Amino acid sequence: MGKYLLLLLLFNIFITHNIFANNITSNSRIEEISDLFIEATGNNKYEAKIKAHEIGMFRALSLVIDRMGIENHGIGKISYYELSTVFTPINITNEFSSKEQYSATVTYQYQSGQIYKLLLNHGSTTVDNMFYEYLVIPVFKQNNKYTIWKKKRKWQKLWDEARELLEDRKIFYPENSLILSQKITSDNIMKLDYNEFIDIFPEHLFKKVMIVSSE
């Protein structure tokens, strides 16, 4: 079967369920950046505090993306408001505030999916190219039950044959493993959100999740 015909077949006989970066629930795992010292000056104590937290949140972002192999110069200017929707201060100690100065030691919490969203909105072309367009997971639906990771089924073999072609189109199709089959099951496949998929595949960057089902 020709490779383009195979790809066309895969995406026309299946029904897709897409999960985007804004599909993040309160059940998603919370991460922390602990004990960052922040300080700034301003025209008044309120401005100084805002500036200090803006610097602190961007520093927290820098630490997170450094772990991902992304450098600061690949990220554009991000407003205080956008940063504050991602990073939440959960512990503030050694706080000092005067008429024009503010300093403190802060622990921020965040979710990985929100970091990805910032990177996609403000990252350079180089950063954007680090992401797969999709993480794709094919499933077979029968009698309202989903079957995943069954290598002997014909539909699964078709997807396996297309793996290299999918990779060329920046679509990540993961190979099955015992650990993976325990994390993504027929019971939870349609309940997982974007952030939970990130937790399952921390070594891969992807913009969206596509669950492709056939009946």
* Domain spans of the chain, in order of start: 3-26+131-214, 31-110
Among candidates 24, 30, 127, 40, which has minimal Cα distance to 87? 30
Tokens of 59: 């520093």
User: d(Cα 70, Cα 203) in Å, to the nearest integer?
Assistant: 13
* Report field, pTM of the whole predicted structure over 0.85: no
Residue spans of beta strands (DSSP E) within 66-192:
88-97, 101-110, 132-142, 145-147, 171-172
Q: Select the CATH number that applies to the domain covering 31-110 from these four: 3.30.750, 1.10.10, 3.30.70, 3.10.28.
A: 3.10.28
pLDDT tens for each residue of 92-130 = 999 999 999 999 999 999 999 999 999 999 999 999 999
Q: Does residue 38 carry a pLDDT above 90?
A: yes
The dihedrals phi and psi of 189, each to the nearest 5 degrees, come to -55, -40
Among candidates 120, 109, 118, 135, which has minimal Cα distance to 26? 109
